Amino acid sequence: MINIVLFGPPGAGKGTQSENIINTFGLKHISTGDLFRKHLGEGTELGKKAQSFMDNGKLVPDEVVIGMVEDFLNENTGAKGFIFDGFPRTVAQAEALDELLKSHDTSINAMLMLDVPQDELKRRLLERGKTSGRADDQNEEKINVRIKEYLNKTLPVAEFYEKQGKINKINGVGTVDGIFNDISAAIKVHS
């Protein structure tokens, strides 16, 4: 199996690049943000638990996220591998993911960290907010909360993978195809 963590701040291009990765490498995509938005749309209990956190740009509590990922892994045991997009976002989630993968006799091969400056992140998210309908894209204040959550709670996850020697830094500014070339090269080295 090949298991890749696609890591980076809000608006770094994780979802955009995931599409190319799925098509090229045949990996199963798990975006915790997309899963939560699906639950929100369907009005499930899980969606109700996540809504106020998401709408305000705050992270959803670990136990809610980890339970959802565990279910997803159990439902997709035949997959060739996974691309984790927007997960793990805290050190507790990273530890839980290692344990979950171990119980499936597998592990993370590499973490790819998309590097994009803050002013570019804000520009991309505000632009998308004009059409996305996402409550968390609607104003600079909410985007600032998301970036702050990333800096305070998510960035320590980079150190977690650094210690395991699994970090690959990728410049996330440029054309979508150019960035994908760098991502592809990194995945090939680790697969």
Residues near Mg ion (CB under 5 A) are 14-15
Closer by beta carbon to ligand AP5, 50 or else 187: 50
Q: How far is the CB of 132 from ligand AP5 (least distance, A)?
A: 7
Rounded to 5°, the CA angle 98-83-125 comes to 115
Pick the catalytic residue from 80, 123, 128, 188: 128
What value does the CA radius of gyration of the chain take, rounded to a whole number of Å?
16
Active site residue 148: no
CA distances from 56 to 40, 66, 115 (A): 14, 20, 24
- Which tokens sit at 3? 């298991």
Q: How far apart are CA 128 and CA 161, in angstroms?
A: 30
Q: Which does 54 bind (CB under 5 to 8 A by kind): ligand AP5, Mg ion, none?
A: ligand AP5
Closer by beta carbon to ligand AP5, 89 or else 160: 89
Contacts with 91 (C-beta within 8 Å, 6 or more apart), sequence order: 156, 157, 160
Q: How far is the CB of 11 from ligand AP5 (least distance, A)?
A: 4
The single-letter DSSP state of residue 110 is E
Q: How far apart are CA 188 and CA 152, in angstroms?
A: 31
- Which tokens sit at 59? 């992270």
Active site residue 37: no
Closer by beta carbon to ligand AP5, 75 or else 78: 75
Any idea which residue has 């998309």 for tokens?
114
Q: How far is the CB of 31 from Mg ion (least distance, A)?
A: 6
Pick the catalytic residue from 58, 134, 153, 169: 134
Closer by beta carbon to ligand AP5, 105 or else 119: 119
Q: How far apart are CA 35 and CA 191, in angstroms?
A: 27
Active site residue 128: yes
Q: Using CB positions, name the residue nearest to Mg ion.
A: 15
Active site residue 146: yes
Active site residue 153: no
Q: How far is the CB of 107 from ligand AP5 (least distance, A)?
A: 19
Active site residues: 14, 89, 128, 134, 146
